[in-house]
């Protein structure tokens, strides 16, 4: 089974759905991954926590940084999920390439 088909099957199963609620939009981390949350946009930044499997996260803004390869391709975008906390966009299902949130200052 190709990667594209596999992703579509998971999306159909509801694993890769973006949630929009009164408190905001939340994006799923790639199934089967526990992702490190860092203090800045790169793997040289300190790890502050690790997201559990199946986590959905808010994206407040995005910032260019170190290029990372993950299940959703290679990207230099990093998603700000809380004050001073970033994850690589290559591990987050946003439904599109590129920016989906404002650029961080």
Q: What is the number of other CB atoms lying within 10 angstroms of the CB of residue 29?
A: 21
Number of helical (H) and strand (E) elements in the chain, helices listed first = 1, 8
pLDDT in tens, 11-51: 434 467 888 776 689 999 999 999 999 999 999 999 999 99
Q: Which residue shows structure tokens 């390439």? A: 97
Q: Which H or E element spans position 26?
A: strand 24-28
pLDDT in tens, 39-84: 999 999 999 999 999 999 999 999 999 999 999 999 999 999 999 9
Q: What is the number of other CB atoms lying within 10 angstroms of the CB of residue 67?
A: 12
Q: Is the pTM of this model over 0.85?
A: no
């Amino acid at each position: 089974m190709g990667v594209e088909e596999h992703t579509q099957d998971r999306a159909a199963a509801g694993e890769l759905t973006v949630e929009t609620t009164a408190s905001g939009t939340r994006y799923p981390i790639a199934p089967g991954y526990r992702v490190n949350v860092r203090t800045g946009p790169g793997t040289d930044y300190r790890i502050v926590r690790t997201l559990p499997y199946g986590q959905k996260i808010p994206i407040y803004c995005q910032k260019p940084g170190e290029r990372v390869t993950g299940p959703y391709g290679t990207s230099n975008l990093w998603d700000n999920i809380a004050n001073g906390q970033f994850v690589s966009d290559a591990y987050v299902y946003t439904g599109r390439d590129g920016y989906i949130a404002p650029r961080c200052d």
